[in-house]
Structure formats: C-alpha cells, structure tokens
Amino acid sequence: MTRIVFVRHGNTDWNIEKRAQGHSSNSLNEMGFRQAELVARRLSEEKWDMLYASDLLRAKQTAEIISSQINLPIIFDQRLRERNRGIIEGTIETERIQTWGKDWRNLGFWQESYASLRVRGRHFVEEMHERYPGKNILAITHGRLLIETLYELVPNETNNEDLLNNTSITIIEMNNNCWKYGLYNCTRHLKSEAITQ
C-alpha cells in the first residue's frame, strides 16, 4: 500500500502576522524551528523510503531538520510549493483593503487558482504512487496546497478546518484504488502552546 505522509512547514513570523506568504522564501521563526525538531523526532520512529519537499525556505528548513533525523536526502519539488499569491504576496488583510478596497478578492491580482493547486497536488501524488508503489513517502509542503490536494483526492471525506497546523501530519493511503485518510492534521508531537497555524 502506497503511503504518503504530508507535513506542513513550521511557523513563520508571516504566519503570526497573517501575511500572504505565497512563493516568498521567508524563514521559520524560533517556534517554527522548535516545531520542526519535534516533528522530526516523531518521524524518526518510523522507516521512510523517500523525502520530498517544497523548495521555499520555510519548507526547506523544516525538511532539513527532518532529513537530519531520518537520514534521507531531500528531493525538492516545485509542485509542493504554496499558492502563488500574485501582487498581494507579503500583505495583510487591512493593507489590501486600504490599497484596493474591501472587494479586493474580486480583482484577481494574478493569484494562482485553487484549481491549479489541485492539479499540481494530484500530479505529485499520482507520480509518487506510480514510481514508489508500496513505499512510505514524506512530503514537506504548505497549508493551502495541501488542503486543495486533499479536496481533490479524498472528495468524500470532508474536514471542517480551513488551515492545517504548522508541522501537522496528514497521511493518505491508497486502498482499493482510492485514497483514504490514515491521519489528518495530527499534532500529538507538540504541546498545546506550540500548536500554531
């Protein structure tokens, strides 16, 4: 059975500020590094066959900490990048309203569509399943990309959360020719004060 384990990157200052991160390569903050160390320790308890990651800095840093614990090289894949936020990247809601008005969402601003995210995520998962049947694959990625990928692949299983927690673990497994959840947004490796979005 192919098993793909997604880990969202650790916390950043832009997460705290609720800035549109998109393709920016901003670093983990102190909490993010701590979260990455804790999830790496948890993941080191299992055997992994492949480690993939987004090449954006916050995911790369998370993956490097995990790699050091599980002794696997990282394969960077741009399909695991976060949604491209176009010209709103780096801004917060109040700044967007001040600049473009309260209906700024209707203006587009060259943001990547959710449909595009779903295609990217599906292509990644399908390739992993085809190339590594029966293997355990780790993929370090981003919140919105992961949510849209899950909507695409597991449409009959809905989740109420809009965002996945930083360094949460979500597992999908191929079972009877369809993807099923093995785990969703799990943060048991974190203490309550270290759980962030």
The pLDDT of residue 156 is 67
Q: Which of 66, 78, 181 is CA-nearest to residue 124?
A: 78
Identify whether 123 is a catalytic site residue.
no
pLDDT of residue 6: 98
User: Binding site annotation covers 100?
Assistant: no
The tens place of each residue's pLDDT in the chain, 197 residues long, gives: 889 999 999 999 999 999 999 999 899 999 999 999 999 999 999 999 999 999 999 999 999 999 999 999 999 999 999 999 988 898 998 998 898 888 888 877 778 999 999 999 999 999 999 999 999 999 999 999 999 999 999 976 655 556 799 999 999 999 888 999 999 999 999 988 788 88
Looking up tokens 């393709």, which residue turns up?
23
pLDDT at 101: 85
Per annotation, catalytic residue among 37, 46, 64, 82: 82
Structure tokens at 121: 């995520």
| Token pair belonging to 54 | 């987004």
Q: Six-digit token pair at 96?
A: 């967007």
11 known member of a binding site:
yes
The annotation status of 13 as a binding-site residue, yes or no, is yes
| Domains of the chain listed by start with CATH number | 3-194 (3.40.50.1240)
Q: pTM (2 decimals)?
A: 0.93
Q: Which residues does 100 contact at the CB level (< 8 Å), separation at least 6?
A: 107, 109
49 is in an annotated binding site: no
Of these residues, 9, 112, 142, 148, which one is catalytic? Answer: 9
Residue 161 is a catalytic residue: no
List the strands of the sheet with 136-141, edge to edge: 75-76, 50-53, 136-141, 3-8, 169-175, 178-186
